[in-house]
Amino acid sequence: MAQLNFGGVTENVITREEFPLAKAREVLKNETIAVIGYGVQGPGQSLNLKDNGFNVIVGQRKNSKTWDKAVADGWVPGETLFDIDEASKRATIVQYLLSDAGQIQAWETVKNNLNAGDALYFSHGFGVTFNEQTGIIPPKDVDVILVAPKGSGTSLRRMFLAGKGLNSSYAIYQDATGRAKERVTALGIGVGSGYLFETDFKKEVYSDLTGERGILMGALAGVFEAQYNVLRKNGHSPSEAFNETVEELTQSLMPLVAENGMDWMYANTSVTAQRGALDWRHKFRAATEPVFDELYSSVASGKEAERVISSSSQADYRDKLEAELKEIRESEMWQTGAVVRKLRPENN
């Protein structure tokens, strides 16, 4: 285990150098890994594991779009693709990658197929952390582990194909066999992690729900809309407002921040940009930190989990979701975005 120093804080991480792929294959050589769910994380994790030489099958509901997607990706019905019941029966490691709502619905089926010594793997701490609401209480005789890639399954797969890795957190909730640590590490390396950093199920879900609602999606979308609206109200064209708000950030600045850090970005912009960014940074932090405090409290209290479970269990949830997405999709800002994306050089 490597020790890294993060601004004076020492943290233990696991790298691919100290736990290479060959070692991961050896640890799991007698295991059958069933990836249950082929939605957000399932495709990337299962395909990466297969390409890395592990024994992988997929479990998915038949007669669904995701079943058809799995077939299109090369999984063979009756050989490497099964319904959820059959796949979980065949596995010694069940990677439970259905949506949070889907995990609740399929839990009795999966639980009944877990045998002593098996491993139950998650990529999100939601179901176990909020088990009073989800009903997901693992049997005591199985390992319960977590690997959570810090990005979408699509990003995980794209980076894997490019020879790169997406960093992941890992956690052990229950070590029934004494092998949970080596199993979770091998799986983390197998799915294509860059490095693995330790957490627990509760911290993973608290940080994840905060991040999704905050800077990764909720706050980002809200700030985009606010700046775009202000520019439009002040007479700027849709193209100018979108480019200054979204396009320059996503296509130019953020890739450079990802490579070099925000201090590098400040040091390599004009004095006008430097001064304005440094001065207004504090105002935005002061304005938004109370919102993040409120958000974290809502996550930690279970209110966000309750809302997710309540909303997603309603019969008309999909219809309501589509209406909300349609509102975003058909807004002037994102209609402008659709046009701007088509005009990028790589699309012409």
Q: What are the catalytic residues?
A: 124
**Distance in angstroms (rounded) separating the CA atoms of residues 103 and 62:** 16
Going from the C-alpha of 306 to that of each of 73, 130, 134, 322, the distances in angstroms are 35, 9, 9, 21
Element (H, E) at 82: strand 81-82
Place of tokens 């077939």: 71
Q: Which residues pair with 166 in a beta bridge?
A: 193
* Cross-strand pairs, 33: 56, 93
Element housing 13 (H / E): strand 9-15
Residue 269: how many CA atoms within 13 Å on its side-chain side?
A: 16
What is the token pair recorded at 168? 């992941």
Give, as one character, the DSSP assignment of residue 33. E
- Residue from 52, 67, 57 nearest 20 by CA: 52
State the number of CA atoms in the 13 A half-sphere of 295 facing the CB: 17
Token output for 254 = 């953020």
